[in-house]
Structure 1
Amino acid sequence: MWFLQFSCVLIVFIQLSQQAAIDNRIVNGQKVQSIEQYPYQVALFKKNELICGGSILSQKYILTAAHCLVKPLEEGEEISCLPSPDESDSSFCGKTAVTTGYGWLYNNEPTTDLYAVNLKIPKINKCPYGFHHMICVPQQKGLKGICHGDSGGPLVINGVQYGITASGIEPTRICQDITLFAFTNIIEFRKWISENSDIDEENAYSNNPKEDYIEIL
C-alpha cells in the first residue's frame, strides 16, 4: 500500500515578497531547533492544513511533488545549485542524505515542529516495478524515515538536493513500519527544471552560491 501517491516534479510559482509567519508542524528523526538549520525548507498548506513540504529553488520558485498542488505560504532562504550536468543518475548511491519535513512522527503522531532525519542510500539504487525515475531507500535501522505530510520535501547530500519526497510502501498504515521510501530523482529532471524555472545553467553553478542560491541537499 502506498502512503503517498506517485509524483513527478512540480515547480510552483510564488511571490515571496509577502511575508508569512512560520507555523511549524519524519519518523524517529530529530527535532529541528531553528529553521536556519534547513533554511530551504517550506511547508505547503491547503485551507490552513499542512499537506506537504517543499524546498526553495529561487525567489520565485518552489520545488515540490506534483501531487501537492498548493501554493506555499512560507518564506525562507533559497536553496542553490542543482546537481551538476556531468553527474550520473547514481552519483548519490552509498551516501547519507538528510530529509526534512513537518509530517507524522512515530505511531502517526502529528507535530507542529520541523524534523530532520538522516537516511543511508544503498550502494546500488534498486527500485521495485513501477518506481520510475526514483531514488529508493529501504527501511532504516531504528525505524527512521518519512511519512504523511513529508511529501514534496528535499533529500539533500552535502548541500545539493538530489531527491523530492514522493512515495513509500506502507503495509500497516503505521509510519515506522514503512518498508521502502521513494524520492523523485532530480538528476533525471534537472534539465527540465532549468528550462522551466529561473534557475538557468549560468546561475545554477555560481562560484558564490551563498550570494545567489543555497545548495539543495
Structure 2
Amino acid sequence: MSLRILAFVLLLLACLAGYCLAQDLDDGASPRIVGGTRAIAGQFPHQISLRRINRFVCGGSILSTSYVLTAGHCVKSGNNVTPASQLNIRAGTLLLSGGGVRVNVAQVVVHPQYRNSAGHDVAVLRLASTLQFSSLIKAISLASSDPPDNALVDISGWGAIYHNGPVSDHLLYTQVRNLARDTCKQNYYSHLSDTTMCLLHEANKGACHGDSGGPATYGGNLVGVASFVLGGCGRAAPDGYERISVLRQWIRQTAKL
C-alpha cells in the first residue's frame, strides 16, 4: 500500500471516529449570501434573524416596534403553524451569533391563502415586547409598487454561502435585478404566482437556504420577501420573492400599521 493511500485510509478512519470537525459558520475568507458582501452597521437596520427553539431558521424585516414580517414557510409546515412560544428574533446586530437584542414572539399570523407552495408566502409576527428603535434598529416602509423592470434590488441575509453550505455569521448582501414578470414566466417559471416577483442574478450569486423571509429593498422601501430559489443556490436563474405591492394591504391590516 502506498504512503498516499495509507494516509487517506487513516484520515477516513479518523473522520469515522468523529475527529473531523465540521465548520458551521463562514470563516470570512469569502463571504457570500451567495456572492455577497459584508454589510456595515446601520446599513440594514430593519433586518432581523428568526430563531425556533434558539436555532436560526430565517430572516425577516421590522415593520414597527411590535411587528416583524417573514416568509410563511418559515413558520408553517403542512397544516402546522409553529407555536409562538418556540420563536424569538434578534435585532440590531450584524452577527448571527450575538449582539443586539433578542425578543420573544407572542403571535404568529400566516397569510390565509398560503398553502405551502409558491404564492402568498408571508407571515406577520407580533412581538412579546416592543423594540427600542435606534440607528441599528428601525422599521422599513412597505413599497406600494414593484421596482421597475431591470432595476437593481438589494437582498440581504445570513443564509448559506453556497448550495448545502454553511450559513454566514455576518450579515451579507448583494444586488439582483427585477426581471419582467412576462419574461420570467416565459423563460423560467410558467406558473408564477401573482404575488411573486423574479429577482435575477448571475451564477454564484443570490439567495440561499436561511435567507428565506429576508428583505428585498429598493429605494429605501421593502419590495419583497425571500420565498424560494429555482434549482440549487447560486444558479444563474431568478429567485422568487413575494411582492409587497400586492400583499401590502393584508400586511398593514395584520400588523396594525
TM over 0.5: yes
Q: Residue 247 of structure 2 aligns to a residue in which SS?
A: helix
Q: Distance in 1 between matches of 2:220 and 2:181?
A: 22
| Alpha-carbon distance change, 72 to 130 in structure 1, aligned in 2, over 3 angstroms | farther
Deviation larger for 176-185 or 41-50: 176-185
Q: Where does residue 136 of structure 1 map in the other structure?
A: 198
Stretches of structure 2 lacking an aligned partner (at least 5 in a row): 1-24, 27-32, 76-81, 93-136
Q: Residue 111 of structure 1 aligns to a residue in which SS?
A: coil
Deviation larger for 100-109 or 181-190: 100-109
Q: Is the 8 A contact 1:102 1:115 kept in 2?
A: yes
Shift of 1:67: 1.3
Q: Residue 34 of structure 2 aligns to a residue in which SS?
A: coil
Q: Is the 8 A contact 1:161 1:186 kept in 2?
A: yes
In the alignment, does 2:138 pair up with 1:78? Answer: yes
Larger Rg: 2
Q: Where does residue 156 of structure 1 map in the other structure?
A: 217
Q: Distance in 1 between matches of 2:154 and 2:88?
A: 21
Q: Is the 8 A contact 1:94 1:124 kept in 2?
A: no
Q: Where does residue 183 of structure 1 map in the other structure?
A: 241
Q: Is the 8 A contact 2:149 2:179 kept in 1?
A: yes
Q: 1:33 aligns with which of 22, 36, 40?
A: 40
Q: Where does residue 103 of structure 2 map in the other structure?
A: none
In the alignment, does 2:154 pair up with 1:103? Answer: no
Stretches of structure 1 lacking an aligned partner (at least 5 in a row): 1-23, 200-217
**What code does the residue aligned with 2:141 have?**
C
The runs of at least 4 aligned residues of structure 1 exceeding 3 Å deviation read none
Q: Distance in 1 between matches of 2:225 and 2:240?
A: 8
Write the deviation string for residues 74-117 of structure 1: whole angstroms up to 9, x where unpaired: 13423232223xx4xx5442211101101000352322111011
Output the TM-score relative to the length of structure 2.
0.59
Higher RCO (CA 8 Å, separation ≥ 6 residues): 1
Q: Map of 1:48-67 to 2, 5 A cutoff?
A: 48-67=54-73
Q: Where does residue 117 of structure 1 map in the other structure?
A: 174
Q: Residue 251 of structure 2 aligns to a residue in which SS?
A: helix
- Identity over the aligned pairs, expressed in percent? 28
